[in-house]
């Protein structure tokens, strides 16, 4: 069984970012794949205090000194085979909600009990922007670099979706989810998730072969 964790980093509940993420995950028609989605708009997540509590005081049950919405994210991330991060592009970068969550994931890099628990998991990024050349490529690059920092295997290509017609800032009134109107963008999002599944299966099979060797 392949487990996929999808995280939507928009402050807008059921907005373009979350709907795109669910669309991309839903396009995977594989009985061996299970996915769950967390929307950061529904969770209270503080920024990292850099208190370094996790370096010496982590336990298997407690990841971080702060107890908040990350208490749900941490075990879900540890159990997942692939993690899909979907974020809107705000001022040329990922959302503040997504940045806070990623900062708090340092527990998997420096924590005494959970260090390295994201190693060899697959990571894919979906970015949603209003304007073409408004920071989508940069945001995608930053997220892929983040996966590498965590010891994960990033999908080389990610999903880039525009929420205005041709990325020119024009919208159709009455259409809430303009992201789904970007046909090519939606295809890139589906492709990124599908590739994440393929890589997760390859890694899982490789680990099984090593155990049986």
| pLDDT tens per residue, range 113-127 | 999 999 999 999 999
As a whole number of angstroms, the distance between CA 158 and CA 140 comes to 7
Total domains in the fold of the chain:
1
**pLDDT of 15 higher than 90:** yes
Looking at residue 87, which CATH number applies to its domain? Answer: 3.40.50.360
Report whether 62 contacts 71 (CB < 8 A): no
Q: Which domain holds residue 33?
A: 2-212
**pLDDT of 143 higher than 90:** yes
- Helical spans, DSSP H, in the chain: 16-26, 53-57, 70-79, 96-104, 107-110, 136-149, 183-212
- Here the tokens at position 41 are 């708009």
The model's confidence at residue 53, banded by pLDDT at 50, 70 and 90, is very high
| pLDDT single digits (tens) 90-100 | 999 999 999 99
Report whether 99 contacts 10 (CB < 8 A): no
Task: Compute φ and ψ for 154, nearest 5 degrees.
Answer: -75, 140
- Here the tokens at position 86 are 């979907």
What pTM, to 2 d.p., does this model score?
A: 0.95
- Here the tokens at position 114 are 């959970």
Report whether 212 contacts 204 (CB < 8 A): no
- Here the tokens at position 190 are 């589906």
The model's confidence at residue 76, banded by pLDDT at 50, 70 and 90, is very high
């Amino acid at each position: 069984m392949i487990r996929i964790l999808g995280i939507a980093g928009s402050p807008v509940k059921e907005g373009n970012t979350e709907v795109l993420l669910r669309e991309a995950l839903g396009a995977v028609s594989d009985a061996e794949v299970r996915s769950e989605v967390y929307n950061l708009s529904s969770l209270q997540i503080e920024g990292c205090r850099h208190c370094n509590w996790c370096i010496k005081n982590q336990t298997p049950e407690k990841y971080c000194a702060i107890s908040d919405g990350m208490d749900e994210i941490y075990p879900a991330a540890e159990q997942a085979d692939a993690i899909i991060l979907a974020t809107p592009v705000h001022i040329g970068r990922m959302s503040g909600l997504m940045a806070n969550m990623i900062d708090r994931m340092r527990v998997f890099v420096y924590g005494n009990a959970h260090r390295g628990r994201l190693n060899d998991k697959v990571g894919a990024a979906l970015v949603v922007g209003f304007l073409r050349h408004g920071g989508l490529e940069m945001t995608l690059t930053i997220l892929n670099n983040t996966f590498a920092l965590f010891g994960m295997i990033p999908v080389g290509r990610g999903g880039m979706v525009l929420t205005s017609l041709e990325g020119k800032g024009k919208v159709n009134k009455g259409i809430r989810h303009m992201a789904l109107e970007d046909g090519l963008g939606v295809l890139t999002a589906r492709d990124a998730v599908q590739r994440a599944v393929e890589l997760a299966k390859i890694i899982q099979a490789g680990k099984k072969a090593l155990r049986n060797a």
